[in-house]
Each structure stands twice: as C-alpha cells, then as structure tokens.
Amino acid sequence: MVSRSKKVVALLLTAMMAAGALAGCGGSSTQPSTQPSTTTSTTESTASTTEEPSQASASDVSAVDLESDAIIQRIKDKIADEAAATDGVVSMTLWCSSDDRGFEDGLKKQFEEKYADSRYTFKIKVSPIGEDKAGSKILEGPKDGADVFSFADDQLYKLVKAGAIAQVADLFNNNVIKENTADAVAICTVDGASYAFPKTSDNGYFMYYDKTVFSEEDVQSMDTMIEKAKAAGKAVYFPMTNSWYSTGFFFAAGCEIKFENDKQTAKIGTQEGVNAVKAMCHIAENVGSGFEGTPGSVGDNPFITNGFNGGTLAAAVTGTWNGPAIKEAIGADNVGAAKLPTVLMNGEQVQLHSFSGYKLIGVNAYSKYPITAQALAYHLGKADSQIQRYKVRGLIPTANAALEDEEIKNDPARVAIAAQMPFSHGQSSSVGGTFWNSGTIADYGGVILNAKGKLDDAKILEDLKTIEAKY
C-alpha cells in the first residue's frame, strides 16, 4: 500500500506540473505550428494576417483537479497578467442563444465569483447570438467576435480552417477528454487537435407528443398519428420548410448527402429522391386536417409553444430546447418522447431519419484574454454546469458525471435520442455552407405544402435535378 506521505507528494507534484503549464499559457508572439493558417477565402474569414491570434498554449499535463485552491490561484494569477495589459479590466463578450441568455448569465456570474481577485475587475457581457449563427458571425471578423461563443458542431471545420478558433490548452483539454463521452471529445477534434469544449449532446430532433392523445404504439407511425390527431381536433407538426428536418426523408430513402473536404454534395435527382418527396406529399395531403408543416411568420419555437398551449398541437418534431415549454403547456406527466415515426414511402413503412449533433463552446483565437476565456469556456461546459443547464433548460449533457444523474439518466428525451441514434446522421459530416442556401431542399418543402402533395412524379424528378445542381 502506498503511504499517505507518498500520496501527498504525488498530489503536490501534479499540482506543480499544472502550475508550470499555466505559467506558459500566455499570448504567443508567433503562431503555434498546430494552428491552421489564417489565409482563407474571403467568404470564410476576414481575419487579419498582420495580427497573430492570442492563442493560449501549454505543455502536456495529466488531468488535474481544476477546483483545487492551488490551481484556482494559478488561474487567477494568469487572469491578473492578462488584465494588466488592459488597466486591470477583463472586458469580454460571451455569445449564446437568446433562450439560454438568462441561464448563461447566471453561470457567468458564478465564474466571476469563483475567480474574483483584487487585482482585476470582470466586465463580461452576455449577448444573444444563436448557435446556428455564431460560427458565421465569427468568420465575418474574428477580431470583432465574442471571446467565448456557443455554436453547432457543423461550424467547427471552417472555424479551424480560418484560424478563428483557439485550440483548447492542455491544462483544460486533458480534463475535457477525461470528463466527457468519447463521441463528444471526437466531435471537438480536427486533425488530432482539440478546438472546442463539449456543451450538449442533443443537437438533433425526435418526437414530443401528448400522451392523452397518443399511445406508445400510435407514435410508431406518422399515418396513425395524423389520424388520431385529426380525431382529437389537433395536429402533428413536422417542419417541412426547414431543410434540417426535411432532409430526414431523403436520408430515409437512401439518398447521399455529404460535406467532405469543404464541399457539399447531395445526390437527390434520382428515383430515391422522388420516393422521398412522394412520402412528404402523402403527409402534406393532410395539411389543416391532422397535420401542420410550416410555422408561418411566427417562427418554429413560438409555433410549437403556442400550439401546445392553445391545444392545437398534439405532437411536434423538435428537440430538447422546446421540452420545458411543452411540459409547462400540457403538464410533465402528459409529455411523451419517442424516436421519429415511420412514414409511407414507395408502398412501405420506412423509418424516418434525422440529424444528430452537438452544441460546443469555442474560444476566439484573437481574444485578448486567452486563458481567462478558456477558463470561462471550461466553467460553462463542466459537469456541474451541464447538470444545471439540464435542470433549467432541459438540454442533454455530454459529461459522464452529468449523464449518471438519476433524473437525466431516465429522461424520456434522452431515451428518445438514443432510440433515434441508429437512424441519425452526423451534422458535421453532412452539412456545409451551401446546404442552407435558398432554392434547395428547404424551399421545396414549401412547394409540397402549397400543393398539398399534388405533384407529378416527372416534375418532381426535374425539380430535384435542378436543386441537386445548386449544392
């Protein structure tokens, strides 16, 4: 048995190693060799080539206790060093979705209290820039972007390529690797280097439903759901005018949609593509009679919330971000969650596919406060914060310790996500910039709805070939 004194010595040596790593975590006068070049196309970044990123670097260390007094003090010392260049004021910006703004502001205040010190003052502003837009906003001008920002994982590749996102310093990265699921760690990695902190594992969609209208058997089939909803004077909602959702029909039909080597491709001008559209047409025949496919001018989230509140919706294909509002509308005991239903496609019931993905936290490579920003990013993504985020926002964690929480472990949404996973496609390997362009799959969903599914097969094939050429 190892003696108590040897254990103490080992702990002290670990803390000293971490402290040594922190001592080298300042801004670099030369760009690290592992940092991608900032030379990119004008559509990807306007980063200056005359100003180097303020990338934090650190020698490799094992995971340490980042909550220990010794490590917290060392981080405070580095914050003080960074603040000295700006008259003792740490002025940073944090971007998150408008729905998360209040919650993230609370975590930010916890961070400020934890690292409070007489040598500096925090001025951290929380601004509402959604995860779907944060990456593009950073690429427009990294030096003008937030120091810390939340974003969807499909944006990581371009951020790395543009040199706009900082690598995770080893002091934090080794803890991130140890504390999160392997899939979450992998999604944050590009060419063997870590560039983000995992935040949530639920950037995908499934079916929320009212258990007073549907049984567990009912929600296996879209046709059955529409029939039952119509009988109850309600509707099932599937956002057909949003390509993130409607692409699930094309995946289910066997179409190939990929984003590889910075290029988006979509092979949909085929018979498989026609089968996908005809399945959508079959459902769209029920618009206004048991089915709704567009949120109109109010937007997707308000439409779902208003629908459950007003009793017009009995089910909706959406994600965990709408879970709390749905529970409040119809009561937690009445909320069910399930994988997506089957749809009638080419004469058979076919399982509907989906996207899966993660929400991540990034640090701007041009932040004036690289270690402070990394410490904040880690704080926002650590297990305790993920548990708090679940309790308040209903978002599913990536941290192993958080996933062992009894409430989270048994959450119906988490179970539904797991059931949908075999039929889901990684967003980062399927979605690139042109995926969202006008004139593509999303717009064709509107055509289908307007026609209430009355479209000719030959015209569908012609239209799909035109759309395919735009990717």
Q: What is the pTM of this model?
A: 0.76
Burial of 261 from C-beta contacts in 10 A (0-12 / 13-18 / 19+) = exposed
Q: What is the distance between the alpha carbons of residues 177 and 261, in angstroms, rounded to a whole number?
A: 26
Helix/strand/coil for 421: helix
Q: What is the distance between the alpha carbons of residues 392 and 280, in angstroms, rounded to a whole number?
A: 35
Q: What is the distance between the alpha carbons of residues 236 and 312, in angstroms, rounded to a whole number?
A: 9
Query: Are residue 197 and residue 234 in the same domain, yes or no?
Result: no
Other beta carbons less than 10 A from residue 24's beta carbon: 15
Helix/strand/coil for 212: coil
Q: What is the distance between the alpha carbons of residues 418 and 337, in angstroms, rounded to a whole number?
A: 11
Q: What is the distance between the alpha carbons of residues 63 and 54, in angstroms, rounded to a whole number?
A: 24
Are 259 and 430 within 8 A, CB to CB? yes
Q: What angle do CA 94, 97, 100 make, to 5 degrees?
A: 90
Tokens of residue 364, six digits: 């701007």
> What is the enclosing helix (H) or strand (E) of 426?
strand 424-426
Q: Is there a domain that residue 230 lies in? A: yes
Structure confidence at residue 49 (pLDDT): 36
Query: Are residue 371 and residue 425 in the same domain, yes or no?
Result: no
Q: What is the distance between the alpha carbons of residues 317 and 336, in angstroms, rounded to a whole number?
A: 12
Q: What is the distance between the alpha carbons of residues 230 and 289, in angstroms, rounded to a whole number?
A: 6
Query: Are residue 396 and residue 421 in the same domain, yes or no?
Result: no
Q: Is there a domain that residue 20 lies in? A: no
What ranges in 149-253 are assigned the alpha helix state H?
Answer: 156-161, 170-179, 182-187, 222-231, 243-253
Q: Is there a domain that residue 18 lies in? A: no
Query: Are residue 306 and residue 319 in the same domain, yes or no?
Result: yes
Q: Is there a domain that residue 137 lies in? A: yes
Q: What is the distance between the alpha carbons of residues 405 and 204, in angstroms, rounded to a whole number?
A: 21
Q: What angle do CA 114, 119, 120 make, to 5 degrees?
A: 70
Q: What is the distance between the alpha carbons of residues 394 and 127, in angstroms, rounded to a whole number?
A: 21
- The CATH number for 282's domain is 3.40.190.10
Q: Is there a domain that residue 145 lies in? A: yes
Reported residue count of the chain is: 471
Query: Are residue 119 and residue 166 in the same domain, yes or no?
Result: yes
Query: Are residue 332 and residue 418 in the same domain, yes or no?
Result: yes
Q: What is the distance between the alpha carbons of residues 414 and 403, in angstroms, rounded to a whole number?
A: 10
Tell me the pLDDT of the chain (471 aa) as tens digits: 444 433 333 443 344 344 444 444 433 333 322 333 333 333 333 343 345 666 554 334 467 899 999 999 999 999 999 999 999 999 999 999 998 999 999 999 999 999 999 999 999 999 999 998 999 999 999 999 999 999 999 899 999 999 999 999 988 999 999 999 998 999 999 999 999 999 999 889 999 999 999 999 999 999 999 999 999 999 999 999 999 999 999 999 999 998 887 788 899 999 999 999 999 999 999 999 999 999 999 999 999 999 999 999 999 999 999 999 999 999 999 999 999 999 999 999 999 999 988 999 999 999 999 999 999 999 999 999 999 999 999 899 999 999 999 999 889 999 999 899 999 998 877 887 678 777 778 789 999 999 999 999 999 999 999 999 888
Query: Are residue 113 and residue 236 in the same domain, yes or no?
Result: no
Other beta carbons less than 10 A from residue 205's beta carbon: 27
DSSP 95: E
Q: What is the distance between the alpha carbons of residues 237 and 307, in angstroms, rounded to a whole number?
A: 9
Q: Tell which of 383, 404, 425 closes a domain.
A: 404
Are 381 and 181 within 8 A, CB to CB? no
Structure confidence at residue 251 (pLDDT): 96
- What type of residue sits at position 332? A
Q: Is there a domain that residue 383 lies in? A: yes
Query: Are residue 364 and residue 350 in the same domain, yes or no?
Result: no
Query: Are residue 307 and residue 448 in the same domain, yes or no?
Result: yes
Task: Output the 3-class SS for 44-79.
Answer: CCCCCCCCCCCCCCCCCCCCCCCCCHHHHHHHHHHH
Helix/strand/coil for 349: strand
Burial of 98 from C-beta contacts in 10 A (0-12 / 13-18 / 19+) = exposed
Query: Are residue 266 and residue 376 in the same domain, yes or no?
Result: no
Q: What is the distance between the alpha carbons of residues 418 and 415, in angstroms, rounded to a whole number?
A: 5
**b (16+ CB within 10 A) / e for 222-233:** bbbbbebbbeee
Count up the domains in the chain and report the number: 2
Structure confidence at residue 260 (pLDDT): 81
Q: Is there a domain that residue 8 lies in? A: no
Query: Are residue 195 and residue 215 in the same domain, yes or no?
Result: no
Are 184 and 197 within 8 A, CB to CB? no
Handedness of CA 439, 442, 447, 450 (dihedral sign): negative
Query: Are residue 267 and residue 344 in the same domain, yes or no?
Result: yes
**CA-CA-CA-CA dihedral for 346, 348, 349, 352, to nearest 10:** -30
Q: Is there a domain that residue 262 lies in? A: yes
Q: What is the distance between the alpha carbons of residues 248 and 109, in angstroms, rounded to a whole number?
A: 40
Task: Domain of residue 126: give its range.
Answer: 26-201+358-404
